[in-house]
Amino acid sequence: MMNISRHDHHLPLQPDLELPIHLGADGRLCINEDNSPSTSMATYSWLLEVDYRATGRWSIPAVTTRQGGRELFTQYLEPRQSGKRLLNLTGISGSEAIFVTTRHCRLAPHVRLLGFRQPALDKRPIMLIAPHPDDAELAAYGFYRRHYDNVWIITLTAGERQKRLDHQYLPGLDDDIRSASFRKGRIRAWNSVTTPLLANVPAERLIMLGYFNDTLSELLQEPDTHIPSRGDFALTPREFRTWNMHRLSSDAALENRGELLLQDLVELLLYLKPATVVVTHPEIDPHQDHIAAARAIASALQQAAHYPKQVLLYANHLRGIRGFPRGPAHAAAGVWPLSIATSCLGPWSFYSEVLDRESQKEKAMALDTMHDLRARMGLEKRIKRWLKRHASGLDKVSWKDYGDHDYFQTHIKAHETFAMVSGEAFVKGLSSSIHTLHSSR
């Protein structure tokens, strides 16, 4: 008998509505028309809470959503597990003729359909914070491609740290770490201010601040102290701002200091007055620079006394979990497979962007322009990938190898997903971190 372990996934989500629903034996989602929302279902992000059980040992379980006879997307889940799961159904256009079909898994008939009202994002400025070059593209390329006419992308660091000479983009180009770090920072800074042009974001709204990779936490802890680059002690942020068209008062600065980072963010907040801020989720994404990015913008919001209507939170890393969102490129993207009872940010809403196939292809092209995602797999990893795919039960043609990096599978998906909280809840929730920062001055 196959050993099935139970893991319930739960997030502190507060839906705007919950529709009475039943999963029929034929896979139909039976929704009472009298309980359908008064506005179009397309104006909501949707999650279907199910009780799930895998039936295969190695084959990757899948749930496919169809409506009106047309396949919308397939979401992939964990083999050898059972428990509560949240399926992303964002993209359904009405309550009629919705079917979910399963492969290598079973769903209990009692389900919950949760609706989250989508905010209006098309009128006022959006400020998208990327801790490193490529974070904005991984989490939100489809998002900023859709909202190109009012989005600003602020990249905090140049991502310049070069740990090994044999991992240079061009093998053997530089003979010392200092030169290699400088060159890596230059090309990644260039990536950050050119790739969004593919999505029609104007160049004057692409800003590289040029602070140093893996130092953001220290910058917040010691804001008046210069923290040198890990790769080259002589580097300055100014060297990575060459292509910025929007000028900042700190452009002449020669130091990597937290007070300058906060000054930049406050200056931009007062200039833009964004209604929406998009940044890394400080409770989900464990990367220290990503946590610090959220704390930095929260501190800057407090200093600027500006509270956006909503903050959208993304995660490009998950602690101890690889290969998420699961499945091949172009599959659906679910919410984070975690169990969290409460959040310092209070209850979350859920926001999901639907990417059509053309947008997904554009995103793949955008990721390819990011030099740091062009890494080639070694033989051992190539063998492991082949074995995993062979055991998945999917045809070889289902796996699209647009690039060797795992992100070309995990982040080329039919959805981009975000938690959403109000600006006030975001700042209040991180106030202890903000207080610590101010007390250190």
Query: Is there a single domain that holds both residue 262 and residue 237?
Result: yes
Residue 326 burial (10 A CB sphere; 0-12, 13-18, 19+): buried
What amino acid occupies position 235?
Answer: L
d(CA 207, CA 248): 10
CATH number at 190 reads 3.40.50
Instruction: Give the tens place of pLDDT for each residue, 114-144.
Output: 999 999 997 899 999 999 999 999 999 999 9
Let me know if residue 334 belongs to a domain. no
Same domain, 110 and 201: no
CA distance 168 to 372: 10
Residue entry with tokens 């201010």 = 193
Q: Is 249 exposed, middle or buried (CB count within 10 Å of its CB: 0-12, 13-18, 19+)?
A: exposed
Q: Extract the tokens encoding 438.
A: 């101010």
Q: Provide the residue range defining the domain that includes 406.
A: 126-309+356-384+399-412+422-439
**Residue pLDDT, tens place only, 380-413:** 989 989 988 988 889 988 999 999 999 999 999 9
Q: Are residues 167 and 53 in the same domain?
A: no
Q: Under the phi-then-psi rule, with left for phi > 0, alpha for psi from -120 to 50, and beta for the rest, what region is 68?
A: left
Nearest Cα residue to 77 out of 327, 319, 284, 318 = 327
Does the pLDDT at position 56 exceed 90? Answer: no
- The answer to whether the beta carbons of residues 161 and 397 sit under 8 Å apart is no
> 12 or 233: which carries more pLDDT confidence?
12
- Name the domain boundary from 117, 149, 164: 117
Residue 97 maps to a domain = yes
- Residue 319 is classified by DSSP as T
Chain segment 335-359, per-residue pLDDT in tens:
999 999 999 999 999 999 999 999 9
Pick the range with the lowest mean pLDDT from 91-100, 261-270, 337-346, 418-427.
Answer: 91-100
Q: Is the pLDDT of residue 231 over 60?
A: yes
Q: Please tell me whether residues 47 and 147 are part of one structural domain.
A: no
Residue bearing the bigger pLDDT, 362 or 2: 362
Is the per-residue pLDDT at 366 higher than 90? yes
440, amino acid identity? S
Encoded tokens for 122: 């098309």
In this structure, is residue 169 part of a structural domain? yes
pLDDT, one tens digit per residue, over 292-342 is 999 999 999 999 999 999 999 999 999 999 899 999 999 999 999 999 999
Q: DSSP letter string over 217-264?
A: HHHHHSTTS----SS-TT--GGGG-TT-SS--TTTT--S--HHHHHHH
**Predicted confidence (pLDDT) per residue in 274-291, tens digit:** 999 999 999 999 999 999
**pLDDT, position 436:** 42
Q: Please say if the pLDDT value at position 15 is more than 60.
A: yes
pLDDT reported for residue 123: 84
Same domain membership, residue 248 and residue 174: yes
Element of type H or E holding 190: helix 177-194
Do 434 and 295 meet the contact criterion of CB atoms below 8 Å apart?
yes
204-230: pLDDT as tens digits: 999 999 999 999 999 999 999 999 998
| Residue 346 belongs to a domain | no
User: Does residue 192 belong to any structural domain of this protein?
Assistant: yes
* pLDDT value of residue 333: 97
Separation of alpha carbons 265 and 106, rounded Å: 48
Q: Tell me what pLDDT residue 438 has.
A: 39
Binned at pLDDT 50, 70 and 90, residue 41 comes out as: confident
pLDDT computed for residue 252 by the predictor: 87
- The enclosing domain of 78 has a CATH number of 2.60.120
Query: Are residue 110 and residue 157 in the same domain, yes or no?
Result: no
Q: pLDDT (tens digit, 9 = 90+) per residue, 242-260?
A: 999 999 999 988 899 999 9
Q: Is the pLDDT of residue 35 over 60?
A: yes
Phi, psi angles (nearest 5°) of residue 191: -55, -45
Among 95, 117, 139, give the residue marking a domain's end.
Answer: 117
In a domain, 155, yes or no: yes
Q: Are 270 and 187 in a shared domain? A: yes
pTM: 0.95
Q: Are residues 379 and 360 in the same domain?
A: yes
Residue 441's pLDDT is what?
34
**Are 157 and 28 contained in the same domain?**
no
CB 357 within 8 A of CB 20: no
Residue 317 lies in a domain: no
Tell me the helix, strand and coil percentages in the chain, rounded to 5.
30, 25, 45
Mean pLDDT, to the nearest integer, of 406-433? 94
Whether 13 has a pLDDT exceeding 80, the answer reads: yes
pLDDT of residue 434: 53
Percent of all residues in the chain with a pLDDT value above 70, rounded to a whole number: 96
Interior/surface letters 11-23, b for 16+ CB within 10 angstroms, e for the rest:
bebebeeebebeb
Token pair listed for 407: 């992100």
- Domain total of the chain: 2
Residue 17 in any domain: the answer is yes
Tell me what pLDDT residue 410 has: 96
Q: Which of 86, 117, 148 corresponds to the end of one domain? A: 117
Same domain, yes or no, for 108 and 238? no
3-state secondary structure of 392: coil
Same domain? 103 vs 147: no
297 & 166 share domain? yes
